[in-house]
Amino acid sequence: MPRSTITPRQDSQFHILRRAMSVRSSLTGPFAEITVGTGDAAVVFNLPKVLLCNSSTYFKAALNNGFSETATQSICLDDEDPEVFRTYAVWLFQNEISRASLEGIDNLETHMFQVYIFTDKRGIIGLGNDTVTMLSSFWTCNEIDMNVTKSFLPLISSACHLYQLALDCMVLESRLGMIIWREGYLEQVVGHSEGVLVDFFKKERLFPNTFKRNDSCFRSICHYHDHDENEEEEEACIGKTNSGRNIAEGHCGIWLQVAWKWHTAAWATFRNGTLPCAEIVVGTPDNSETFYLHKKLLCDSSSYFKAALNNGFAETTSQKITLDDEDPPVFRIFASWLYHPIIVLPSEDLHTQEEHLLKLYLFADKRGIVNLANDAITMLASCWANYRVVKSKTNWIFSEILASSKLYDLILDSMFLELRYNSPDISRLNAADLPKPVLIDLLKREMRYRRGLSDFDACILSACHYHVHGPDGVLTEAECVETIEKGHNIWRYESSGDYTQIPWNWDQDE
Residue from 391, 466, 404 nearest 435 by CA: 391
Q: Is residue 442 a contact partner of residue 418, using CB atoms and an 8 Å limit? A: no
Q: Is residue 280 a contact partner of residue 290, using CB atoms and an 8 Å limit? A: yes
Q: Is residue 258 a contact partner of residue 222, using CB atoms and an 8 Å limit? A: no
Radius of gyration, CA atoms only, the chain: 29
Residue from 179, 267, 253 nearest 223 by CA: 267
Q: Is residue 73 a contact partner of residue 63, using CB atoms and an 8 Å limit? A: yes
What pLDDT does 1 receive? 37
Tell the burial category of 78 from Cβ atoms under 10 Å away from its Cβ (0-12, 13-18, 19+).
exposed
Q: Is residue 317 a contact partner of residue 182, using CB atoms and an 8 Å limit? A: no
Q: Is residue 293 a contact partner of residue 232, using CB atoms and an 8 Å limit? A: no
What pLDDT does 249 receive? 72
What pLDDT does 265 receive? 47
Mean pLDDT per segment of 10 residues, for the chain of length 510 residues?
A: 42 51 55 95 95 96 90 95 96 89 90 97 96 94 92 93 94 70 68 83 77 85 85 83 80 70 55 71 91 88 94 86 94 86 79 91 96 95 82 82 94 86 61 82 86 81 92 85 85 69 81
What pLDDT does 48 receive? 95
Whether the pTM exceeds 0.85: the reply is: no
Please tell me the class of the 1-105 domain: alpha beta
Delimit the domains of the chain by residue range: 1-105, 107-272, 351-510
